[in-house]
Amino acid sequence: MTVLRRVFFTAVALVSLFLGGVVCLMCQVLAGRDAPTYRVEGQVVSHERGALPVAGDEDTQSHTIAVDAGERQFHVTAVGPGLDLPLGQPVTLDVSTADGTIAYLRAGGSVVDLRPGVVRPVLLIVASLLALGAVYFGAVRLNVYPPVATWLALALGALLAPVAVFLRV
């Protein structure tokens, strides 16, 4: 029975680590999405079109442009007509201070939002928290391991999760 309890404690701690890591990573994605930006002006120096099959639709076009911003060159890819820009077109990029990705591209009077969506990270956060709650409800309800040790496993997983996300384990 002692071996079973040790295995169970380890399993609860590892599941906590994994689910806590998913929550931390998705929170990091959401924070990066809405991070402050700085503006960079440049012009389009190359433009490529390519077919990108999306959901079985073979006619979807992706556009990849390179923007020369003086000291740095940015490459932007998006699906749809928003980046169908001619060479030499002046553009303004809003670059995220968190990770250096491009949040918005402004060309003429149009603005292209290049940030990732919020639905997937929010759904992953909710699913992970529900799974974590189910693990602890089951662990305490089954009385396989004392509640104090189960909560210790939760605390261990919750403390190690941000470290694992930071180190990208």
> For the chain, what is the domain count?
2
Among 6, 23, 7, smallest CA distance to 133 is for: 23
50-71, pLDDT tens digit by residue?
A: 776 666 666 677 788 888 888 8
Question: Residue 39: pLDDT band by 50, 70, 90 thresholds?
Answer: very high
Q: Looking at residue 93, which CATH number applies to its domain?
A: 2.40.50.140
Co-location of 54 and 108 in the same domain: yes
Q: Do 67 and 24 fall within a single domain? A: no
In this structure, the answer to whether residues 158 and 141 fall within a common structural domain is yes
Check if the beta carbon of residue 53 is closer than 8 Å to that of residue 75.
no
Residues 149/136, Cβ–Cβ less than 8 Å? no
- Residue 37 makes CB contacts below 8 A (sequence gap 6+) with 94, 95, 96, 97, 103, 104
The CA distance from 10 to 14, in Å, is 6
40 or 1, greater pLDDT: 40
* Residues 94, 52 share a domain: yes
Q: Provide the pLDDT for residue 169.
A: 44
Q: What is the largest CA-CA distance in the chain?
A: 73
User: Is the domain of 42 the same as that of 108?
Assistant: yes
Same domain flag for 66 and 81: yes
* Structural domain range at position 148: 2-31+119-167
Residues 85, 150 within the same domain: no
Specify the higher pLDDT residue, 13 or 107. Answer: 107
| 21 and 49 co-located in one domain | no
Q: Please tell me whether residue 47 adopts helix, strand or coil conformation.
A: strand
33-38 LR contacts (CB < 8 Å, sep 24+): 33/103, 33/115, 33/116, 33/118, 34/115, 35/96, 35/97, 35/98, 35/99, 35/103, 36/96, 36/97, 36/98, 37/94, 37/95, 37/96, 37/97, 37/103, 37/104, 38/94, 38/95, 38/97
Task: Identify the pLDDT of residue 86.
Answer: 85
Same domain, 24 and 42: no
Mean pLDDT (the chain) is 78
User: Could you give the percent of the chain with pLDDT greater than 70?
Assistant: 74
Which amino acid appears at position 126 of this protein?
V
- The C-alpha atoms of residue 84 and residue 161 are separated, in whole angstroms, by 42
Between 166 and 110, whose confidence is greater?
Answer: 110
What is the arithmetic mean of pLDDT over 30-34?
Answer: 81
Tell me the whole-structure pTM to 2 decimals. Answer: 0.64
pLDDT surpasses 70 at 143: no
pLDDT digits over 73-88, tens only? 888 888 777 778 888 8
**Of the residues 88, 113, 138, the one at which a domain ends:** 113
13 shares its domain with 45:
no
Phi, psi of 101 (to 5 degrees): -80, 160
Q: Does 89 lie in the same domain as 62? A: yes
| Same domain for 156 and 109 | no
Domain final residue, candidates 113, 135, 151: 113
